[in-house]
Structure 1
Amino acid sequence: MDIDTLDLNLLRIFDALIRTRNVTSAGEAVGLSQPAVSYALAKLRTITGDELFVRSRGGMEPTPRAIHMGVPVRQVLDMIRREVFQTDHFIPSEAERVFTLSLSDIGEMVFLPRLLRRLQTEAPHVTIKSVSLSPADLQEAMASGDVDLAAGYFPDIIKANFYQQHLFAHTFACLVREGHPTIRKRMTMKQFMDATHIVIRAEGRSQEIFERHLEEKRITRRVGLVIPHFMSVPHLLQATDMVATVPRSLAEALVSFGTVCMFDLPFETPKFDLKQYWHARFHRDPANQWLRQLVYESFIQGI
C-alpha cells in the first residue's frame, strides 16, 4: 500500500465502522451518507486487499485484519486531534519546563527576583534560564525558540516579525558611598563636575543614552575608572569618593544594601523605554502568553 495516496478520511470512516458495526451509523458519526461510507469501504478493501467488514445478523462484523487495524488507527486519529488540531492549554501550576529569558545584569538584579517570587507560588516547577547574547544572535535565538522572551532595553530588535510591549520609561540616578565627604543632602552641578566618575560600559545599551546625553549637553567629567559590569559598583564606591551614574532602578536596588546613597542628577536626565520582545511565531502560544503577562506584571509592580 502506498501511504502517500492514503486519504485520512478513510481512517475516520474505518474507525466509525469498527465502533458502530453499522454503515448508516458510521455515516452519521462522520457526517457522510450511507452510499459515501459504502464507497469509502470499497476503497479500503482495495487498499488493504481484505474484506475488513462482513455483513451478518449483528451488523458489519470486522475481519481479523480489521480488528488488528482498529487500535493503531484510533491511536493515529487521536494523536492528530490532540497534537495537530487541539488548542494547547498551559497550566502554570502543573507545568514543568524551562523558559529562557534575555536579561541584562540590571534585569537579573532588579526584576528577576520579582519574577521568581511569583513563580514560587504560581508555577513552582518552572525553571528560568537567563542568557546574554549579541543583538544578532538574540534575534536568531528568539526566531528559533531558543530564547522565549527578551526584556529590557533592546533597541536593535526592530524587525517586522517581532512583537514588543512597553513596560515603563526609565531614567538615571547617581550613587556615592555612605559618608561621602562632600555630597550629602543633594548633588550640585559643581559637585558632579568636580567628582571623579566611574563609567560603566556594559553589554546593555542603556548607558549609551546617558553618555550621548552628556555629549549633546557638552557636559564633561573627570573619568577615573571604566568597567564592564554594574555589579562591582557598590564595592568600588565604598572604597573611594567616586560617583557612578546608573539606571535608577538599579540605584534603588543598590541603596537597599545599605552601603551607598542615591542622588538625583543636577540636570535634566534622559529617559529610555524598557520593553519586552517576542517572535511572531510564538505570539499565540499559551505558554509564551502566560510568561509575557507574568513579566509585565513583575516589571510594573516596582514602579
Structure 2
Amino acid sequence: MSLPDTGEHDRRLDESLLRSLHVLLSEASVSQAAARLGVAQSALSRHLKVLRQLTGDELLVRVGNRMVLTERAQALAVPTRRILADMSLLTAEAGPVEPRELRQSFRIATYDFLPRQFFADIAERVARQAPECDVVIRGLGSRFEHYRQLADGEVDMVITIWPELPGHLRAASLLTEPMVCLVREGHPLARAPMTLDDYRRARHLSSLEHVPGQGTIIDAQLAELGVSVHTAMHTQFLGMAPAILARTDLVFTTGRLLAEDFARQYPLAIVPFPAKIKPHRYRLVWHERTHKNQAMRWLRGELTAAARELAHRPRS
C-alpha cells in the first residue's frame, strides 16, 4: 500500500492526510503509525512534513529516546477523530466487507456486568474472522460520558443498561435477564426463601454510582419498590465481588448470568430476588454516523450473536 503523493507545495488537507494525522497522534511514533496504516515509513514521514507545514507546528518532537506530542498536537486529536467520523456519513459502502481484509481497531465502552464468557467469545470471533483487527474495551465513565465518547468518535459502540438515549444514537437489544441476589454458601438468607424485609435489613455490596448522588440503576429500581438498603461496600471493579461475598455476609444484587459466572468461581449461592423487579436490559448503542459502516455493522452482528449464545447456554 502507498500513500497518495502530497508534494511539499500541495497544501490541501485531504482525507489521506487526515488519516495519517489521526494515526500519528494515536501512536506518537512514525514507525508504529506507518505499520498500523500498512505504508512505508518514508511515505508517512512525507505526510508528517506536509502536516507540519499546514498546522504550523512540529506535532511530534523528540524527548530523550522517544517522540511526544506537542500541546498543539494534543489539541488536534479530538477534532481530527471527529472529522474523520463525520466524513463516513458522506459515503455509503456498497456491499458487505470481508472481515479478513479489515485492518482497524474496534473500541467498545462497557462495564464488567456481563460474564467473562461474553468478552472471551468476542475476542475469539474477532481473532478468527478478522485477524488484522484489534479490540479495545474501556470503561463507561460517568452516566452520560459515553454519549460524548460516541459523538467525538472516541468509541465505536457502547453496551449499557441505562434506558436514556438521545435521538442521534442508535440502539439494539443484546440481552434481557432477571435480577437475583448472590450470597455466600451457608448465608442465613440462603437457607429459606428471602423476604423483602430480610433484603432490606441485610448489608449490601454494590457497584459505584455513575453520577455521584444519583445512585445506580439498581438503586433506581429499588426506589420504585419503596426500598432503601445499607450498602456496606461499593466497588468499581465487579471482579472483586465473588471473593468479597465468599468471606462476608454481604448481599450482591445483579443479573442472573453474572451471578452464575461468579458462583462457578467461588462457593456462592444464588437467591431469587424477593419481589417483582424489572430485569436487566442490556443494549448495544452506536452513533448515527457509523450506522451504515459495514465493518461496524459486522462487529455489531458478532456482538449480538455472542449475546444470543450466552443467553441460550445450558445452565450448569
Name the TM-score, length of structure 1 as normaliser.
Answer: 0.63
Question: C-alpha separation between the residues in 2 aligned to 1:135 and 1:199?
Answer: 16
Contact 1:174 1:246 in 2 (8 A): yes
Contact 1:173 1:246 in 2 (8 A): yes
The one-letter amino acid of 2:118's match is: F
2:104 paired with 1:103: no
2:188 paired with 1:171: no
For the pair shown, which has the larger CA radius of gyration, 1 or 2? Answer: 1
Q: Which position in structure 2 is the counterpart of 1:284?
A: 292
Question: C-alpha separation between the residues in 2 aligned to 1:85 and 1:266?
Answer: 50
Question: C-alpha separation between the residues in 1 aligned to 2:200 and 2:150?
Answer: 42
Q: 1:190-209 alignment to 2 at 5 Å?
A: 190-203=197-210, 208-209=216-217
> Once the two structures are superposed, what CA deviation does each residue of 1:68-113 show, in whole Å capped at 9, x if it has no partner?
xxxxxxxxxxxxxxxx897475221232321000111224745312
1:245 maps to which of 246, 253, 256: 253
Contact 1:104 1:203 in 2 (8 A): no
Q: 1:88 to 1:135 in 2, by over 3 A?
A: farther
Paired residues, what number?
220
> Once the two structures are superposed, what CA deviation does each residue of 1:202-248 show, in whole Å capped at 9, x if it has no partner?
54999733222323323343443333332221121111122111222
Select between 95-104 and 126-135 the one with higher mean Cα deviation.
126-135
Contact 1:175 1:251 in 2 (8 A): yes
Q: Which position in structure 2 is the counterpart of 1:183?
A: 190
Q: Moved runs in structure 1, 4+ residues, more than 6 A?
A: 204-207
Question: C-alpha separation between the residues in 1 aligned to 2:167 and 2:182?
Answer: 39
Select between 92-101 and 207-216 the one with higher mean Cα deviation.
207-216
Question: C-alpha separation between the residues in 2 aligned to 1:121 and 1:112?
Answer: 14
Question: C-alpha separation between the residues in 1 aligned to 2:246 and 2:307?
Answer: 29
Unpaired runs of at least 5, structure 2: 1-9, 11-90, 312-316
- Please tell me the root mean square deviation across aligned C-alpha atoms, in Å: 3.0
Look up the SS of the partner of 1:291 in the other structure: helix
Question: C-alpha separation between the residues in 1 aligned to 2:299 and 2:112?
Answer: 20
Select between 197-206 and 113-122 the one with higher mean Cα deviation.
197-206
Look up the SS of the partner of 1:268 in the other structure: coil
Q: 1:72-111 alignment to 2 at 5 Å?
A: 87=94, 90-107=97-114, 109=116, 111=118
The one-letter amino acid of 1:260's match is: L
The one-letter amino acid of 2:176's match is: A
Contact 1:98 1:127 in 2 (8 A): yes
Contact 1:167 1:300 in 2 (8 A): yes
Q: Which position in structure 1 is the counterpart of 2:238?
A: 230
Unpaired runs of at least 5, structure 1: 4-83
Select between 97-106 and 193-202 the one with higher mean Cα deviation.
193-202
Q: Which position in structure 1 is the counterpart of 2:271?
A: 263
Select between 191-200 and 259-268 the one with higher mean Cα deviation.
191-200
Select between 163-172 and 232-241 the one with higher mean Cα deviation.
163-172
Name the TM-score, length of structure 2 as normaliser.
Answer: 0.60
